[in-house]
Amino acid sequence: MDLELTGKVALVAAATRGLGRAAAEALAREGASVYLCGRTPRAMEIAEEIARSTGSEVDGCVADVSTPMGRDILFRKASDRFGKIDILVTNAGGPPAGVFEDFDDSFWYEAFDLNFMSVVGLVRWVIPGMKERGWGRIVTITSIAVKQPIEGLILSNAVRTGVVGLVKSLSKELAPYGITVNNVCPGYTATERLVELAKSISEKEGIPESAVEDRWCQQIPLGRLGRPEELAALIAFLASERGSYITGASIPVDGGFFAGLM
């Protein structure tokens, strides 16, 4: 299937590893030019690797999307490099694992900046150009926790859910301009973030990390962890012309983990 992304420019946040990198690779493979960022100079190395493997134009910079300055740097450099942003994929690392009594206000503010304001700030930058061109795709990466809260991830459960409300509201406001806004909800996916979470649980409960992974897999009807490229394939579709009639949706990619009806 031709997703008709040649000539489009995608901005992908936090793309040096895991789901962000997979999204950047998928979009580049479909012919889009991609600008990505990360918190370390490795962002430029990843951009070069993806460019070599896909043949698309890919560039990147160091930027922390949890800060206004970082978002400003990212947008301005991406715009200077490619002149426009047609596709925005928001992404950021997850806040620390723990229960309510583990966190004071500083953790809540940090989680809010990381997982909510990073989306608000980047969307604010790209909307004017998308409106002017009458076309745009915004895809937010959150977590299956927005549909089914995950034990021990109270910060993520609470803060990421706000993004769902933002996505639904934006989808209605921006639809007249040919801009779609969707949210993807990865379940337990084999990323570095999941390895870190397994290690944290392992140390807290005194069990092997493999036992933690087995516990997760037992909760997933498909019986395995997801692969980053499986989420990335959905992102590429939603970013394409083929996905033009999908907006305001929060779509699970979780192997059947979510037990609800909607």
152-201 pLDDT tens trace: 899 999 999 999 999 999 999 999 999 999 999 999 999 988 888 888 88
Q: What is the dihedral of CA 10, 16, 19, 21, to 10 degrees?
A: 50
240/73 Cα distance (integer angstroms): 26
| pLDDT value of residue 154 | 97
Q: Which residue has the higher pLDDT, 1 or 15?
A: 15
As a residue count, the chain comes to 262
For the chain, what is the largest distance between any 2 Cα atoms, rounded to a whole number of angstroms?
Answer: 56
57/34 Cα distance (integer angstroms): 6
44/77 Cα distance (integer angstroms): 13
Q: Do 95 and 108 form a contact (C-beta atoms < 8 A)?
A: no
Decide: helix, strand or coil at residue 118: helix
Confidence at 70, pLDDT banded by 50, 70, 90: very high
Domains present along the chain, CATH in parentheses: 9-188+227-253 (3.40.50.720)
